[in-house]
Structure 1
Amino acid sequence: MNPRHRRALIPGLLVVLLVIVLVAALAREARAADGEVDVERVSTITDARVPESSALVVSKRDPELAYTINDSGNVPTVFTIEVSTGDVVGATRLAGAEVVDTEALAIDHDGTLWVADIGDNDAIRSTVSLLAIEEPVLGEKSVRPLRYEVRYADGSADAEALLADPSGHGMFIVSKGLLGGQVYRLPQPLSRTSVNVAQPMAEAEAPALVTDGDFLPDGAQVVLRTYLGVHVLDATTWQETWSATLPETRQSESLAAEPDGTSVLVGSEGLPSPIQRVTLPEEQRAAMLAPASGIIDLD
Structure 2
Amino acid sequence: MNPRHRRLLIPGLLIALLVIVVVSSLADKAGAATSGEQPVSRITDSRITESSGLVVSRTDPDLAYTINDSGNAAAVYAVDVPSGRVVGSAAPRVPFTDTEALSADSTGVLWVADTGDNNRRRTDVALYSMAAFGRQDVGARDVKRFPLTYPSAPRDVESLVVNPRTDEKFLLTKGLLGGEVFALPDRLVQDRPNRVKALPATVPGLITDAAFTPDGAYVVARNYSRGFVLDASTWEEVETLDLPEVQQGETLAMEPDGRSLLVGSEGAESPLFRVAFTSPAPAAAPSDEPAAGAATARTPAGAADPGPLEGGNGFAGATWLWAGGVLALLAVISAAATRGR
| TM-score, normalised relative to structure 1 | 0.80
What is residue 180 of structure 2 aligned with on the other side? 182
Give SS of 1:210's match.
coil
1:70-219 equivalent positions in 2, closer than 5 A: 70-95=68-93, 97-141=94-138, 142-202=140-200, 204-219=201-216
Pick from 275, 279, 293 the counterpart of residue 272 of structure 2: 275
Contact 1:127 1:152 in 2 (8 A): no
Rg comparison, structure with higher value: 2
What CA distance in whole angstroms lies between the structure 2 residues aligned with 1:100 and 1:286? 41
What CA distance in whole angstroms lies between the structure 1 residues aligned with 2:49 and 2:39? 19
Contact 1:229 1:246 in 2 (8 A): yes
Distance 1:214 1:220, change over 3 A: same
% same residue: 45
Question: Larger % of helix: which?
Answer: 2
Amino acid at match of 2:71: G
Of 147-156 and 241-250, the range deviating more from structure 2: 241-250
Q: Deviations over 1:188-226 (max 9, x none)?
A: 110111100111101x22110000000011100100010
Question: Larger % of strand: which?
Answer: 1
What CA distance in whole angstroms lies between the structure 2 residues aligned with 1:260 and 1:154? 39
CA apart distance, 1:109: 1.3
Structure 2: gaps of 5 or more residues: 1-33, 283-341
Pick from 64, 67, 72 the counterpart of residue 66 of structure 1: 64
Give the ranges of 4+ consecutive aligned residues of structure 1 lying more than 6 Å apart after TM superposition. Answer: none
Pick from 46, 49, 68 the counterpart of residue 48 of structure 1: 46
Contact 1:262 1:285 in 2 (8 A): no
What CA distance in whole angstroms lies between the structure 2 residues aligned with 1:234 and 1:103? 23
The number of aligned residues is 248
Contact 2:106 2:167 in 1 (8 A): no
Contact 1:148 1:196 in 2 (8 A): yes
Contact 2:105 2:167 in 1 (8 A): no
What CA distance in whole angstroms lies between the structure 1 residues aligned with 2:98 and 2:251? 15
Pick from 245, 250, 275 the counterpart of residue 242 of structure 2: 245
* Structure with greater contact order relative to length (CA < 8 Å, sep ≥ 6): 1
Cα RMSD for the two superposed structures: 1.4
CA apart distance, 1:68: 0.2
What CA distance in whole angstroms lies between the structure 1 residues aligned with 2:257 and 2:134? 20
What is residue 231 of structure 2 aligned with on the other side? 234
Give SS of 2:215's match.
coil
| TM-score, normalised relative to structure 2 | 0.71
Structure 1: gaps of 5 or more residues: 1-35, 288-299
